[in-house]
């Protein structure tokens, strides 16, 4: 199998789960797609030149690092983000919890990252620290503050659920 | 609000989006754009001018290994670097693409200057891509240079160090430049530690660093931190 086809198959399998993870990292459908596309582009660029023992896990590490630095980097690298935003090309096919999306927007990128790794990837503190490239103490702090913020927001606004399967897009 | 309720919320968020039907084409276009960008990026070192007087940058950090007895450069791969530049305003830049290579031994006559003095030892270096536009760096720059025989075996170097009379005394040198900024250098501007967990040029260049440094500002330049690991 040539490397182009190999990567195409990897991307076909991983795009949906990466997009879901990116949605948890960003709480924004537009940013989630940008992050997914950029992560896959980085993987595709290196595919065949680098050795990936676990490409799916490596892609998530790339995504986490990109997300932490994403605002500054992507605004420079992706012209779309510098001007008026086009409609996100993704489709909303399931329900989202409005209270959670609203709460996540108020968190720092690092707090969102720690929470996504915990609740989406089911990683423990040690593994989260490895993915984020920081200490376990920092992760515990980010998880504690982030979780508390989610609970505060849920108490204030209630766990209201919104969104309907089949609608176009939007968070 | 229980852990389970939060987890359920994340499960719904995780499954709420479907990628565009033309996702593959979009990714392919982005890969092609990045490759074009990389080809046009200039591998230069104008921001390294501050070190030009020492004659080090050109011979040690700039460009590829010289021909001859050089050890093959490592095709960058494996785990990604987490080395992160943290500015005083809290913004960050992650050096996630760092190339590790070995600098060949210089054979021949006795050293005539500091650069040649350094050339006597096998060195391992790690550099981030140097991307220039109109001669100015548009990406922060990271570079590390270590004398292999002085850094092997899990060594930790603490800064600041005492007075350095010769570059040959320095087992490690580290450069950090922000976009449009001049360089900060360790030792010299640094407080903190650089741990060389492992370093080897045989059979392929491999370098594992743990960095926790604060690099002082000069004049109105604010201090910055460099933390993280390589790879």
Tell me how far apart the alpha carbons of residues A33 and A16 are, in angstroms, rounded to a whole number: 10
* CB-CB contact of B13 with A24 (8 Å): yes
| pLDDT tens digit at each of 171 positions of chain A | 577 788 999 999 999 999 999 999 988 888 899 889 989 998 888 887 767 778 999 899 888 877 876 554 444 444 433 344 556 788 888 888 888 988 998 888 889 999 999 999 999 999 998 888 788 999 999 999 999 999 988 888 766 444 444 333 334
- Which residues of chain A from 63 to 102 reach within 8 Å of chain B, CB to CB? 65-66, 68-69, 72-73, 89-97, 99-101
Higher pLDDT, B170 or B54: B170
Give the one of A23, A33, A44 whose C-beta lies nearest to B13's C-beta: A23
| Half-sphere exposure in the Cβ direction for B171 (13 Å, CA) | 17
> Do B17 and A133 make contact, defined as CB atoms within 8 angstroms?
no
Sign of CA dihedral B132, B137, B138, B140: positive
| Residue A42, pLDDT score | 86
pLDDT band at B185 (very low <50, low <70, confident <90, very high): confident
Higher pLDDT, B200 or A52: B200
* CB-CB contact of B145 with B61 (8 Å): yes
Kindly state the average pLDDT of the residues B63-70: 33
Higher pLDDT, B203 or A141: A141
> Residue B16: its chain A contacts at CB < 8 A?
20, 23, 92-96, 163
> Do B5 and A159 make contact, defined as CB atoms within 8 angstroms?
yes
ipTM over 0.90: no
> Residue A8: its chain B contacts at CB < 8 A?
24
Tell me the per-residue pLDDT of A44-66, one tens digit each, with 9 for 90 and over: 888 877 677 789 998 998 888 77
| Residue A137, pLDDT score | 92
Instruction: Please give, one letter per residue, the 3-state secondary structure of A154-168.
Output: HHHHCCCEECCCCCC
> Do B6 and A147 make contact, defined as CB atoms within 8 angstroms?
yes
Helix locations, B1-155, DSSP H: 3-14, 23-40, 57-60, 114-118, 148-151
Using the Cβ of B160 and the Cβ atoms of chain A, whether some distance falls under 8 Å is answered with: no
Pick the most confident of A89-93, A154-158, B59-63, B86-90: A89-93
B196 Cα distance to chain centroid: 14
| Residue A127, pLDDT score | 92
Give the range among A20-24, B66-70, B103-107 with minimum mean pLDDT: B66-70
Among B34, B25, B38, CA closest to A78:
B34
| Residue B132, pLDDT score | 67
Tell me the per-residue pLDDT of B109-167, one tens digit each, with 9 for 90 and over: 566 655 555 556 778 888 888 776 666 667 788 888 888 888 888 888 887 766 555 55
Using the Cβ of B133 and the Cβ atoms of chain A, whether some distance falls under 8 Å is answered with: no
| Residue A48, pLDDT score | 75
Give B36-73 as a DSSP string.
HHHHHS----GGGGGGGGGT-HHHHTSSSPPSSSPPPP
Tell me how far apart the alpha carbons of residues A34 and B130 are, in angstroms, rounded to a whole number: 24
Average pLDDT over all residues of chain B: 71
Among A163, A153, A167, A166, CA closest to A115:
A153
> Do A41 and B30 make contact, defined as CB atoms within 8 angstroms?
yes
- Which residues of chain A from 2 to 21 reach within 8 Å of chain B, CB to CB? 8, 11-12, 15-16, 19-21
Q: Is the pLDDT of residue B27 over 80?
A: yes
Kindly state the average pLDDT of the residues B60-77: 36
Give the one of B23, B35, B80 whose C-beta lies nearest to A45's C-beta: B35
| Residue A145, pLDDT score | 93
> Residue B26: its chain A contacts at CB < 8 A?
37, 89
| Residue B40, pLDDT score | 46
Give the one of A51, A72, A163 whose C-beta lies nearest to B77's C-beta: A51
Using the Cβ of B94 and the Cβ atoms of chain A, whether some distance falls under 8 Å is answered with: yes
> Do B17 and A101 make contact, defined as CB atoms within 8 angstroms?
no
Cα separation values, B198 from A112, A140, B31, B87, B227, Å: 33, 28, 33, 28, 17
| Residue A52, pLDDT score | 74
| Residue B82, pLDDT score | 87
Query: What percent of chain B clears pLDDT 90, i.e. is strictly above it?
Result: 10
Chain B nearest C-alpha distance from A75 (Å) = 13
Give the one of B9, B17, B93 whose C-beta lies nearest to A32's C-beta: B17
Instruction: Please give, one letter per residue, the 3-state secondary structure of chain A.
Output: CCHHHHHHHHHHHHHHHHHHHHHHHHCCHHHHHHHHHHHHHHHHHHECCECCCCHHHHHHHHHHHHHHCHHHHHHHHCHHHHCCCCCCCCEECCCEEHHHHHHHHCCCHHHHHHHHHHHCCCCCHHHHHHHHCCCHHHHHHHHHHHHHHHHHHHHHHCCCEECCCCCCCCC
| Residue A70, pLDDT score | 58
> Do A33 and B15 make contact, defined as CB atoms within 8 angstroms?
no
> Do B7 and A50 make contact, defined as CB atoms within 8 angstroms?
no
Kindly state the average pLDDT of the residues B21-47: 67
* CB-CB contact of A20 with B15 (8 Å): yes
Element of type H or E holding B190: strand B190-200
Q: Is the pLDDT of residue B61 over 80?
A: no
| Residue B52, pLDDT score | 34
> Do B96 and A62 make contact, defined as CB atoms within 8 angstroms?
yes
> Do B16 and A163 make contact, defined as CB atoms within 8 angstroms?
yes
């Amino acid at each position: 199998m040539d490397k182009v086809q190999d990567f195409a198959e990897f991307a076909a399998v991983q795009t949906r789960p990466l997009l879901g993870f990116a949605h948890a990292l960003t709480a924004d459908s537009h940013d989630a797609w940008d992050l997914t596309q950029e992560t896959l582009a980085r993987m595709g660029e290196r595919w065949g030149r680098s050795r990936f023992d676990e490409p799916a896990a490596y892609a998530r590490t790339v995504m986490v690092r990109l997300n932490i630095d994403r605002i500054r980097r992507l605004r420079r690298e992706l012209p779309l983000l510098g001007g008026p935003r086009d409609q996100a090309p993704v489709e909303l096919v399931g329900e989202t919890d409005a209270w959670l999306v609203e709460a996540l927007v108020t968190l720092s990128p690092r707090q969102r990252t720690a929470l996504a790794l915990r609740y989406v990837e089911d990683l423990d503190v040690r593994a989260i620290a490895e993915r984020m490239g920081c200490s376990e103490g920092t992760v515990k702090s980010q998880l504690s503050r982030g979780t508390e913020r989610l609970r505060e927001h849920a108490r204030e606004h209630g766990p209201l659920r919104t969104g309907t399967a089949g609608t176009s897009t939007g968070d | 609000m229980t852990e389970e309720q939060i987890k359920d919320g994340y499960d719904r968020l995780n499954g709420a989006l479907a990628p565009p039907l033309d996702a593959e084409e979009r990714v392919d276009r982005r890969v092609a754009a990045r490759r074009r960008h990389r080809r046009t990026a200039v591998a230069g070192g104008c921001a390294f001018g501050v070190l030009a007087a020492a004659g080090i940058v050109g011979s040690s950090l700039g460009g590829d290994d010289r021909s001859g007895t050089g050890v093959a450069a490592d095709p960058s791969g494996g785990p990604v670097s987490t080395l992160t530049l943290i500015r005083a305003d809290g913004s960050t830049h992650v050096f996630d693409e760092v190339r590790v290579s070995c600098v060949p031994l210089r054979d021949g006559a006795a050293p005539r200057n500091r650069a040649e003095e350094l050339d006597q030892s096998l060195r391992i270096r790690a550099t981030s891509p140097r991307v220039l536009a109109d001669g100015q760096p548009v990406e922060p720059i990271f570079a590390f240079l270590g004398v292999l025989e002085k850094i092997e075996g899990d060594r930790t170097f603490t800064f600041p160090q005492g007075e350095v009379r010769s570059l040959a005394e320095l087992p490690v040198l580290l450069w950090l430049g922000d976009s449009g900024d001049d360089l900060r250098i360790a030792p010299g501007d640094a407080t903190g530690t650089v741990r060389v967990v492992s370093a080897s040029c045989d059979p392929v260049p491999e370098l594992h660093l743990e960095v926790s440094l604060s690099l002082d500002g000069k004049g109105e330049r604010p201090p910055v931190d460099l933390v993280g690991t390589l790879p």
